[in-house]
């Protein structure tokens, strides 16, 4: 049985959502159409955390619904998954744009925007209580795993994480779209492999099954109790 003290300290996801929808903590609030809080299965053992909403996401209020999102859906499908089995959200909940040309051009969120939005991301993850966080792209990994995360070198490995029993990072689908060409899938197969690995770990951890294998690349065995 879950100890009462843990139940009491877990935030309520809908309360966090309501707070986020009214947030004015940073300048992104001024021009947003929608706060893109997150969606999916709030009881999933796996949460995917991207960078931030783009144009389609801002319009619809839903995460990963543009071109990158369609690629993410394809990768999930290759793993036998869909949005009803995982929870998907972003590091920042509002679209970051450069308006200097008079029209909005997507830009990466700044450090201060990312910091301001942790007031929603942290309780959101606490409310869901995933076994595994999959950081989708370098900005998410830098926010949730470590500041100097090197996505091309360190993707696909288990790291300690305050917000789950382990975290893994993968390539961002927008990066894959930019890199794909006639002779390369741009890293799509790596995205699929990382999602599959994260899901495997998440379901095994949720089931409470453990077996000891070597730590490092093959195992989230950063703390002995968590080894798969
Ligand atoms: N890219 C992200 O990181 N998140 C989205 O929701 C859409 C595109």
- Please list the helix, strand and coil fractions of the chain in percent, rounded to the nearest 5, in that order: 40, 15, 45
In a domain, 89, yes or no: yes
3-class state of residue 181 by DSSP: strand
CA–centroid distance, 13 to ligand 1, in Å, is 20
Q: What's the confidence (pLDDT) of residue 211?
A: 46
User: Of 170, 174, 94, nearest to 132 (Cα)?
Assistant: 170
DSSP H/E element including 196: helix 188-207
Whether 199 and 81 have beta carbons less than 8 Å apart is answered as yes
**225 within domain boundaries:** no
> Ligand 1: distance of its center to the CA of 109 in Å?
12
Domain range for residue 191?
13-202
Task: Name the residue of 35, 60, 64, 174 whose CB sits within 8 Å of the most ligand 1 atoms, as the mutation to test its pocket.
Answer: 64
Nearest residue (by CA) to ligand 1, atom 7, is 64
| Domain count within the chain | 1
The count of other CB atoms within 10 Å of the CB of residue 32 is 17
State which of 34, 47, 54 you would mutate to test the pocket of ligand 1, scoring each by most atoms of that ligand within 8 A of its C-beta.
Answer: 54
What pLDDT is attached to residue 66? Answer: 97
Q: Does residue 217 lie within any of the structural domains?
A: no
What pLDDT was estimated at residue 225?
A: 39
pLDDT for the residue numbered 2: 52
CA of 37 to the centre of ligand 1 (A): 11
Q: 216 pairs with which residues across the strands?
A: 219
Which atom of ligand 1 is closest in space to residue 140's alpha carbon?
Answer: 3
- 134, part of any domain: yes
Predicted local distance difference test score (pLDDT) of residue 9: 78
- Residue 48 falls inside a structural domain: yes
For residue 217, give the nearest of 150, 177, 171, 157 by alpha carbon: 157
Q: Which of 195, 188, 205 is nearest to 169 (CA)?
A: 195
**Which atom of ligand 1 is least distant from the CA of 139?**
3
> At 81, which CATH number?
3.40.470.10
Q: Is residue 219 part of a domain?
A: no
Q: How far is the CA of 50 from the centre of ligand 1 (A)?
A: 5
pLDDT tens, per residue, the chain with 228 residues? 555 555 567 999 999 999 999 999 999 999 999 999 999 999 999 999 999 999 999 999 999 999 999 999 999 999 999 999 999 999 999 999 999 999 999 999 999 999 999 999 999 999 999 999 999 999 999 999 999 999 999 999 999 999 999 999 999 999 999 999 989 999 999 999 999 999 999 999 999 844 443 345 555 544 433 555
The answer as to whether 8 is a domain residue is no
pLDDT tens, position by position, 32-81 = 999 999 999 999 999 999 999 999 999 999 999 999 999 999 999 999 99
Decide if 168 is inside a domain. Answer: yes
CB-based contact 52:95 (threshold 8 Å): yes
Q: Tell me, rounded to whole angstroms, the distance of Cα 130 from its chain centroid.
A: 11
Kindly list the protein residues whose Cβ atom lies closer than 6 A to any atom of ligand 1: 50-54, 57, 63-64, 66, 68-69, 90, 137, 174
């Amino acid at each position: 049985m879950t100890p009462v003290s843990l139940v009491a300290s877990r935030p309520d996801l809908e309360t966090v959502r309501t707070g986020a929808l009214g947030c004015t903590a940073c300048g992104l609030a001024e021009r947003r159409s929608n706060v893109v809080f997150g969606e999916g299965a709030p009881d999933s053992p796996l949460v995917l955390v991207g960078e931030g909403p783009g144009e389609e996401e801002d319009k619809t209020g839903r995460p990963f619904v543009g071109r990158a999102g369609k690629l993410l859906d394809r990768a999930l499908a290759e793993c036998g998954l869909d949005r009803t089995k995982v929870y998907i959200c972003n590091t920042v909940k509002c679209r970051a744009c450069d308006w200097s040309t008079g029209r909005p051009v997507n830009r990466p969120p700044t450090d201060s925007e990312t910091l301001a939005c942790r007031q929603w991301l942290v309780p959101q993850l606490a409310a869901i209580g995933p076994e595994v966080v999959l950081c989708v792209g370098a900005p998410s990994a830098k926010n949730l795993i470590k500041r100097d995360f090197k996505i091309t070198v360190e993707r696909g490995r288990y790291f300690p994480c305050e917000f789950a029993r382990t975290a893994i990072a993968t390539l961002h689908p927008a990066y894959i779209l930019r890199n794909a060409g006639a002779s390369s899938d741009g890293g799509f197969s790596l995205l699929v492999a990382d999602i599959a690995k994260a899901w495997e770990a998440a379901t095994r951890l949720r089931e409470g099954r453990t077996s000891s294998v070597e730590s490092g690349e093959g195992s989230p065995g950063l703390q002995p109790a968590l080894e798969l």
